[in-house]
Structure 1
Amino acid sequence: MADRTSSNAYWAANVRIILTSLAIWFICSFGLGIILRPALKGMSVGGADLGFWFAQNGSIYVFLVLIFVYAWRMNKLDKEHGVEE
């Protein structure tokens, strides 16, 4: 990763992955759990309405999935740019 354009491309891709992950988590936790909660009231998951479930559990599950997806994507990105461990 000696030349500057490769370094810039690596960090641009890294930031894109982070921003995408944060957007997905925001939509799931804030959007589905708070803003769209009244619209999701009729659907039930485990005895609670879907909006409540996303506010309490869904955002945590999405966060855990995003951790593994982020690690997988970063390992792939590291290999593409020659900076893997």
Structure 2
Amino acid sequence: MSDKQKHATAYWKENLKYLLILLSIWFAVSYGAGILFKDTLNEIKVGGFPLGFWFAQQGSIYVFVILIFVYVRLMNRLDKKYGFDD
């Protein structure tokens, strides 16, 4: 296996690790906060609305957008680390 192939394999493994972590966070927020822990979170009010409702309607979307920016930042660092930032 050439050195370039080793770098590409390591790059892809690290990319998949980032994807799994970020998608797990998004799943936990959207499914966990919006569905599983809805009743507990509904005891807290945000802007007059129950927090569980807020997460189900808007919170998971906000978290997803934030995770997109985090992913871009992580990938830029990863590109520089492995020399794919041409």
Q: Please, what TM-score do these two structures have when normalized by structure 1?
A: 0.93
Identity of aligned residues (%): 48
Deviates more, 1:3-12 or 1:50-59: 3-12
| CA RMSD in angstroms, aligned pairs only | 1.3
Larger fraction in helix? 2
Structure 2, unmatched stretches of 5+, are none
User: Matched residues in 2 for 1:34 and 1:50: separation?
Assistant: 11
Instruction: Give the count of matched residue pairs.
Output: 85
User: Matched residues in 2 for 1:55 and 1:46: separation?
Assistant: 15
Q: Please, what TM-score do these two structures have when normalized by structure 2?
A: 0.92
The structural deviation recorded for 1:46 is 1.2
Post-superposition, which runs of at least 4 consecutive aligned residues in structure 1 deviate over 6 A?
none
**Higher RCO (Cα < 8 Å, 6 or more apart):** 1
Structure 1, unmatched stretches of 5+, are none
